[in-house]
Chains A and B, each alone.
Chain A
């Protein structure tokens, strides 16, 4: 029996119920066989009133099989192309059937799933949270290659289709209806097929019901084709707007835009062919492999608990204590309360604690303004947060997260005085970003219940949490922290103790390399702008100014004074000198920590601090753009490799996801470790050697790369 159940009723309506092997329906070899047989049978039907595509799975259809896709290399494209053309042609054949075809959408129809829906004449969806539709391929470095670009553009017109295609917007059934992506919704899932049948029967006598709009005579694409001045103008400005976002680093949205414009320029079938060719050009690309690996497979692993110890029962935090109601503490309180957890927000004064709580009120007001919450929700969230200056209010917390100043003694003292308030089996977390967990845990009576839970700022927006195990942290404690992070709907990565853990350590390597380059005499604007050119959200000098060189310097000095590092142990001494000079001699410790930083700030905007040129700039120094870009990127990559080599990173997936979600690793890299896989291990070693030769030994490749190369492995 086929995995596509074929059922013809008395009215000659055929219902195809997709029930593929495995948890979801997906486009793969099994699909090709089932669909081929099904279509041949449909085409051979002597009497056909209509066709319904339905699903027995929770999702309607999940799309292309990424396990297959990610394997495709450039030299296999010819074969892959032939297969792709057949798969794609199934959908064209569905459109050409002499009877109307309806998609009965009972669950998520994303990517290839929605492309099937788009090839149906009519789309009915269950109006439920379970139903989301869209074409999110762009997020994986791909384009909707089964007609999605061409059909959606012809359905909605270029202007309305582009946001769905370029941003991969996913929407619920009601929105899909109002936006014209589907035709009808029903209230219960059971109504889907009966309603589809009723619609088919109602079309009797209307020959056009079996024709897609674009196959009807006199069809005009909504909003006009490329000859319409408005569309032509859109086609000329959309690339500019797109490049502003992608900086030319992401091929998928570029190919999508090109295909969508072709879809309003040439005929439908030609546009489909162009779409196929552009899709094929993306599949074997490094960027697509990077994005699929990181955002699909590794994100799934990380969120699915690959780094969580096995065999420990899932836990839930019912009451969390947050000590320190500053920027981080108030954010942690906010995300916890938003997840429905009771929060005790403690600071030295009630006033300070209340101020921390007011932060959540402010965020809720913003959400209400944007229509994303209401007063009742605000009240219920605020009711969950108790602001206090009393330790005793923390009694019975399953988890206490300390988020006070980065001072070892202070943190030790709070641990000693407060950990007694924890519930039995309670866990102590420190939101430190610079102090070793093992040493912080020395103050605890139960160091096995002590763990690092490192949030990123702003806490409500940043999706990542870095969990750090100290030497004595137990698996139970780790599991509890992990479950808490999932409970507040964030993504946890798990790392071992090290100065700066994984994220801060990797993050600062680029900033210091940037400072090193300025100290060498390279034009600071080039350094900053070329940071953006590799895809960093903002340039490294701009970031350094924002987060403050003064703080960086103080952290380093503290670490030296505590014997955590040696002053001689410095990969970038020129950077250190420059920062010392800027902070100590000129009070240029950063935008908010002195009289400016690398830049000088005024109401008119910012300019490079003129004195910086005077002190360091050497116009005669010739360093290529490529070298500057690689020095910035490779600094992060090499530091990440060291973290993996030293065991700070416990998995490659944690490294990739952590760098992408926490410290702005460019999307196209798929994370700082995945970058090496598609760059090529040997090529990476060679380029590192070149950089080391020119700029110093810190660019020497960590041994782990040569080991992987030797073993014929990638970083997986």
Chain B
């Protein structure tokens, strides 16, 4: 029998626009990450020497986020010098990958206490900064029929017959749910205000949400991927889908995930760790799974990943009380619900990345805090968290409230 991986806490920073006029642009990645580690230490009077490793997802590990940013953050937070740190990259799944890996570490008995999370200051290290064959190497692009993810998102909507109104309506709901949740304090348990060197607050709550969003306003936005599509990406993807005449470009900044700065940290440990440190587990990691699907359309992995995760856990769909799918694009969430045939009323109950933003490497672990809080608030048991991932991958994790 393996050990249990308990969730002792799950926190995150508020999320803010990932551009130079965003509230968090002035905060360095190591500072943003270190703030969360310090908070964990203070909340639990943690003997940091007990922590074995800190795993942080980050998709652009260059510049400010380069050189194993996780280790820099551990040191910068003032944690014990015995604590290791590793930066991980599985594209948008990086944060949840860190959670799953940390859980595996604990379950195997190799380690007793881990921090898993992620960091992405998109305002400082924009998407694409890290380069890579993925989109940058002509030979890879041509042989693999690589296109920008948004083209894939638009193709999903095209294949499913979802109109601009359909995806906009979904986006509107995300905004409404997220602003209601924030204003009702549903995020307060997890969100740690970002402070400056003097202890003055830089940002207290999520400020990317646009509560006044309307269908009319959404309808007025320009399609984001029409131009790229016309430059050859549409034809590239269409070559794999001969049953489709043309791609309907429905995604806009209004119904796609927001580009934001943010970080997350989840404290995962064994039962022994809890006893030794006097911590009470809030939940546990039941199972995790990754898989991969057709890479050019890229974004249809979450449904299959969730199915795989259920199988690993030995659970049924009806055993899941809340579903959380990262809203990379509206069509991704819609496709996930359709693939799994699940109820929209218990899916993304507090909105998602369309309203709150998607700090790529951090998002997966953010979902842990959001769902754990909500399971506790509702008195429910299990949640399934899923994200679509570059290259056609999908990732899922089932957590259980204790």
A254 CB contacts on chain B under 8 angstroms: 138-139, 142
A530 CB contacts on chain B under 8 angstroms: 242
A605 CB contacts on chain B under 8 angstroms: 246
Cβ-based interface call for A383 (8 A)? no
A244 close to B232 (CB less than 8 A): yes
A520 to chain B, nearest CB (A): 16
A208-248: CB near B (< 8 Å → 1, else 0) gives 00000000000000000000000010011111111110011
Known: A232-B136, A244-B235. A239 touches B142 (CB 8 A): yes
Give the residues from 23 to 63 in chain B that come closer than 8 angstroms, CB to CB, to chain A: none
Give the residues from 515 to 533 in chain A that come closer than 8 angstroms, CB to CB, to chain B: 523, 525-526, 529-530, 533
Known: A232-B131, A248-B142, A254-B138. A240 touches B232 (CB 8 A): yes
Give the residues from 112 to 141 in chain B that come closer than 8 angstroms, CB to CB, to chain A: 131, 135-139, 141
**CA A280 to CA B136, docked complex, whole Å:** 24
Of B138, B232, B239, B245, most buried by chain A (CB within 10 Å of CB) is B138
Task: Give the contacting residue for A244; candidates B131, B236, B242; CB below 8 A.
Answer: B236
**CA A526 to CA B243, docked complex, whole Å:** 5
Cβ-based interface call for A258 (8 A)? yes
Cβ-based interface call for A608 (8 A)? yes
**CA A608 to CA B131, docked complex, whole Å:** 41
Task: Write the chain A residue with the least CB distance to B234.
Answer: A244
Give the residues from 608 to 644 in chain A that come closer than 8 angstroms, CB to CB, to chain B: 608, 625
B231 close to A525 (CB less than 8 A): no
Task: Give the contacting residue for A523; candidates B147, B243, B246; CB below 8 A.
Answer: B243
A235 to chain B, nearest CB (A): 6
A236 close to B136 (CB less than 8 A): yes
**CA A370 to CA B267, docked complex, whole Å:** 69
Give the residues from 236 to 278 in chain A that come closer than 8 angstroms, CB to CB, to chain B: 236-244, 247-248, 254, 257-258, 261
**CA A605 to CA B247, docked complex, whole Å:** 13
B135 CB contacts on chain A under 8 angstroms: 236
**CA A454 to CA B166, docked complex, whole Å:** 54
Task: Give the contacting residue for A526; candidates B138, B141, B236, B242; CB below 8 A.
Answer: B242
Cβ-based interface call for A607 (8 A)? yes
A266 to chain B, nearest CB (A): 13
B243 CB contacts on chain A under 8 angstroms: 523, 525-526, 529
B236 close to A240 (CB less than 8 A): yes
A243 close to B136 (CB less than 8 A): no
**CA A240 to CA B136, docked complex, whole Å:** 11
Task: Give the contacting residue for A241; candidates B147, B231, B246; CB below 8 A.
Answer: B231
B237-249: CB near A (< 8 Å → 1, else 0) gives 0110011111000
**CA A244 to CA B235, docked complex, whole Å:** 6
A381 to chain B, nearest CB (A): 38
A248 CB contacts on chain B under 8 angstroms: 142, 145, 239
B231 CB contacts on chain A under 8 angstroms: 237, 240-241, 244
Task: Write the chain B residue with the least CB distance to A523.
Answer: B243
Cβ-based interface call for B233 (8 A)? yes
Known: A243-B236, A244-B236. A525 touches B141 (CB 8 A): no
Known: A240-B231, A241-B232. A529 touches B238 (CB 8 A): yes
Give the residues from 576 to 607 in chain A that come closer than 8 angstroms, CB to CB, to chain B: 605, 607
B116 to chain A, nearest CB (A): 32
Of A236, A257, A605, A607, most buried by chain B (CB within 10 Å of CB) is A236
A241 CB contacts on chain B under 8 angstroms: 231-232
**CA A607 to CA B139, docked complex, whole Å:** 34
B239 close to A247 (CB less than 8 A): yes
B141 CB contacts on chain A under 8 angstroms: 236, 239-240
B183 to chain A, nearest CB (A): 40
B138 close to A238 (CB less than 8 A): yes
Number of interface residues of A (CB under 8 A): 27
A287 to chain B, nearest CB (A): 15
Give the residues from 133 to 184 in chain B that come closer than 8 angstroms, CB to CB, to chain A: 135-139, 141-142, 145-147
Inter-chain contact total with CB atoms closer than 8 Å: 69
Task: Write the chain B residue with the least CB distance to A625.
Answer: B242
**CA A605 to CA B246, docked complex, whole Å:** 11
A533 close to B242 (CB less than 8 A): yes
B242 close to A239 (CB less than 8 A): no
Task: Give the contacting residue for A237; candidates B131, B232, B235; CB below 8 A.
Answer: B232
A622 to chain B, nearest CB (A): 13
**CA A406 to CA B139, docked complex, whole Å:** 50
A231 to chain B, nearest CB (A): 11
Task: Give the contacting residue for A240; candidates B147, B242, B245, B246; CB below 8 A.
Answer: B147
Task: Write the chain B residue with the least CB distance to A260.
Answer: B138
**CA A242 to CA B233, docked complex, whole Å:** 10
B138 close to A258 (CB less than 8 A): yes
B245 CB contacts on chain A under 8 angstroms: 525, 529, 607-608
B238 CB contacts on chain A under 8 angstroms: 529
B325 to chain A, nearest CB (A): 28
B233 close to A240 (CB less than 8 A): yes
A257 CB contacts on chain B under 8 angstroms: 138, 142
Task: Write the chain B residue with the least CB distance to A257.
Answer: B138
A619 to chain B, nearest CB (A): 10
A217 to chain B, nearest CB (A): 27
Task: Write the chain A residue with the least CB distance to B244.
Answer: A525
B138 CB contacts on chain A under 8 angstroms: 235, 238-239, 254, 257-258, 261
B236 CB contacts on chain A under 8 angstroms: 240, 243-244
A243 close to B235 (CB less than 8 A): yes
Task: Give the contacting residue for B242; candidates A237, A529, A607, A608; CB below 8 A.
Answer: A529
Of A258, A523, A526, A607, most buried by chain B (CB within 10 Å of CB) is A258
A237 CB contacts on chain B under 8 angstroms: 231-232
A491-535: CB near B (< 8 Å → 1, else 0) gives 000000000000000000000000000000001011001100100
**CA A241 to CA B235, docked complex, whole Å:** 9
B69 to chain A, nearest CB (A): 22
Task: Write the chain B residue with the least CB distance to A531.
Answer: B242
A247 CB contacts on chain B under 8 angstroms: 235, 239
**CA A523 to CA B131, docked complex, whole Å:** 40
**CA A713 to CA B145, docked complex, whole Å:** 38
B139 CB contacts on chain A under 8 angstroms: 254, 258
A590 to chain B, nearest CB (A): 19
**CA A244 to CA B146, docked complex, whole Å:** 13
B233 CB contacts on chain A under 8 angstroms: 240
A235 CB contacts on chain B under 8 angstroms: 136-138
B152 to chain A, nearest CB (A): 14
**CA A235 to CA B232, docked complex, whole Å:** 13
**CA A239 to CA B146, docked complex, whole Å:** 9
A608 to chain B, nearest CB (A): 7
B273-305: CB near A (< 8 Å → 1, else 0) gives 000000000000000000000000000000000
Task: Write the chain B residue with the least CB distance to A265.
Answer: B137
A607 CB contacts on chain B under 8 angstroms: 245
B210 to chain A, nearest CB (A): 30
**CA A530 to CA B244, docked complex, whole Å:** 11
Known: A236-B135, A236-B136, A237-B231. A243 touches B142 (CB 8 A): yes
Task: Give the contacting residue for A533; candidates B137, B146, B239; CB below 8 A.
Answer: B239
B170 to chain A, nearest CB (A): 25
**CA A232 to CA B135, docked complex, whole Å:** 10
Of B131, B139, B147, B231, most buried by chain A (CB within 10 Å of CB) is B139
B136 CB contacts on chain A under 8 angstroms: 232, 235-236
**CA A238 to CA B236, docked complex, whole Å:** 12
**CA A248 to CA B146, docked complex, whole Å:** 12
A238 CB contacts on chain B under 8 angstroms: 138
A-B contact pairs, 12 of them (CB 8 A): A235-B136, A239-B232, A240-B141, A240-B232, A242-B142, A243-B142, A243-B235, A244-B235, A244-B236, A254-B138, A523-B243, A529-B242
Query: Assuming A243-B232, A525-B244, what are 17 further A-B pairs, CB within 8 angstroms?
Result: A232-B136, A236-B135, A236-B136, A239-B142, A240-B141, A242-B142, A243-B142, A243-B145, A243-B235, A244-B232, A244-B236, A248-B239, A254-B138, A257-B138, A257-B142, A261-B138, A529-B244
Top 10 nearest A-B pairs by Cβ distance? A240-B232, A244-B232, A529-B242, A239-B141, A239-B138, A258-B139, A241-B232, A244-B235, A526-B242, A239-B142
